[in-house]
Structure 1
């Protein structure tokens, strides 16, 4: 068995899937709820101490990761219906790299990480957005897991079948003796 074509196919899949992380990062930045903060001039507080915006940002990342996993698996299956270990590994590695890229893009393009400087710039008693961050780092694994499971399901349901050897009842019986 030759591994060269499988490695090429896997590397190309990983690269394409990882680049899709830019889309995930921009969607996360756009759709994630903002964490409202307020400063009294001495300290910075949550505007709503019972708010769930931080959890909502993680949940948004998870849901987007599920969607991207299903979408990339569907496209990979559509492009290469016969599957192979290269495609599956490419989906897994590309999903991890894409999730990392999306997380860093969301943090980089989101509100500033320097909360104290931002609070001083805005002024006392003014509401401003806190930084976008991913508290549950396990959310980075949602995309690759969803992609590999979706690809497995698609291959199982619609992939090519191996020819089955004839069973005992499939073999024609010899003619009865005369």
Structure 2
């Protein structure tokens, strides 16, 4: 239980840092202030898609790093607690990154020039594709399982069939040098 809790808490703290980084990297969509409130200035803007992409990149890289570190630290102990901690902590970290990224405004705020009647302001960050919230836990757990599979194959007796002996060795009767 301790390994699981520590993993979730560490990944949660990394989620706060990921939110700040996402806020710094992702562009803000431009909004027009109207009488009814702020409205998206350009509905075909690529800033909304870019925010999703930057979120996936930041949390995906952290997921791969956390999966590798979690695997290396759990080799001596409890791998199940580490895998469950990577899954739960990745979900928590992604959610905290979303909350912090929405609240912190560090990114580029380039907007078109405002006219005397229209005021264009940078909008808040948000995700339009909610599936990117699963990038962190999916990549962390996926890399953990890949590394575990590679190590399991490396240590497997199936890798060395015939007890480590060459089946075409000196007992086979075929000698290449006699040609």
Given the superposition, is the C-alpha separation of residues 104 and 168 from structure 1 closer, same or farther in structure 2, using an over 3 Å criterion? Answer: closer
What residue is the counterpart of 2:73 in the other structure? 79
The TM-score normalised by the length of structure 2 is 0.73
Structure 1: where are the runs of 5+ without partners?
1-6, 112-122, 173-178
Task: Say whether the 8 Å CA contact 1:96–1:144 is kept in structure 2.
Answer: yes
Give the secondary structure class of the aligned counterpart of 1:49. coil
Aligned residues: 154
What residue is the counterpart of 2:95 in the other structure? 100
What residue is the counterpart of 1:30 in the other structure? 24
What is the aligned counterpart of 2:5 among 11, 27, 45?
Answer: 11
2:131 pairs with 1:138: yes
Q: Could you tell me how far apart the structure 2 residues matched to 1:138 and 1:163 are?
A: 36
Q: Which moved more, 1:78-87 or 1:92-101?
A: 78-87
Question: Cα RMSD over matched residues?
Answer: 2.9
Task: Say whether the 8 Å CA contact 1:81–1:160 is kept in structure 2.
Answer: no
Q: Could you tell me how far apart the structure 2 residues matched to 1:76 and 1:9 are?
A: 10
Q: Could you tell me how far apart the structure 2 residues matched to 1:16 and 1:134 are?
A: 24
The TM-score normalised by the length of structure 1 is 0.73
Given the superposition, is the C-alpha separation of residues 149 and 42 from structure 1 closer, same or farther in structure 2, using an over 3 Å criterion? Answer: closer
How far the C-alpha of 1:160 sits from its partner, in A, is 8.7
Task: Say whether the 8 Å CA contact 1:29–1:106 is kept in structure 2.
Answer: yes
